[in-house]
Amino acid sequence: GAGVSQSPSNKVTEKGKDVELRCDPISGHTALYWYRQRLGQGLEFLIYFQGNSAPDKSGLPSDRFSAERTGESVSTLTIQRTQQEDSAVYLCASSLVAGGQEQFFGPGTRLTVL
Amino acid sequence: GENVEQHPSTLSVQEGDSAVIKCTYSDSASNYFPWYKQELGKRPQLIIDIRSNVGEKKDQRIAVTLNKTAKHFSLHITETQPEDSAVYFCAAGDGKTSYDKVIFGPGTSLSVIP
């Protein structure tokens, strides 16, 4: 079946512009996560959605970052007024239900801020 | 919140030797500990996980051990092969949210020398 998909695969933008990244989770997966991975670094948690519960936004690095999810479907991560330090791969993952379930990762969006 | 440390950051072994990666976590309420493998340029994938009600779990050449008292867990790979070369991430489930979310360690880059 279809896995987690993300778009665009690559995004180059100028400093100060806003960008929107999209994630399509596996159908039926109620949990969705966003991570940031800088070159050669680990997986930095950004935000977590679980069903209709309030999202866990504890990992968002600044108020320039926001994310939305409609029900149990598509999620978008928005970065406003991008900075060069925002350059990274942004990974989305989904899992079937809450409670220690395998996360299935998307291919990521590579963001480059010039 | 949860904090996960991982050692070593890089590891080189000869093909056929064993590799051990160790992680420590801070939140004693964490109860889910997955390990993910990320090959170069690819997305992370779950290779094995363990829950706090067991001390050890094995899957072919891979095993994970958990010491809840000391708050550490380890990944053991035996008879390493070149295709084991990758970055390995440990993670611990955030007990405050009933392990709906996991926090990842910084990763270990494993190189298996043929």
Quick one: closest CA in A to B97, which residue?
A99
Q: Kindly report, residue by residue over B3-22, the tens digit of the pLDDT.
A: 999 999 999 999 999 999 99
CB spacing of A91 vs B44 below 8 angstroms: yes
Pairing of strands A75-79, A44-50: unpaired
Q: Kindly report, residue by residue over A59-73, the tens digit of the pLDDT.
A: 999 999 999 998 888
Cα separation of B34 and A107, whole Å? 20
Is the model's pLDDT at B71 over the cut of 90?
yes
CB spacing of A48 vs B100 below 8 angstroms: yes
Max CA pair span of chain B? 44
Query: In the prediction, which pLDDT does A6 show?
Result: 98
Angle at A49 between CA A47 and CA A54, to 5 degrees: 100
Q: What is the mean pLDDT of chain B?
A: 92
Is the model's pLDDT at A87 over the cut of 50?
yes
Cα separation of B70 and A36, whole Å? 29
Q: What are phi and psi of B82, to 5 degrees?
A: -55, -35
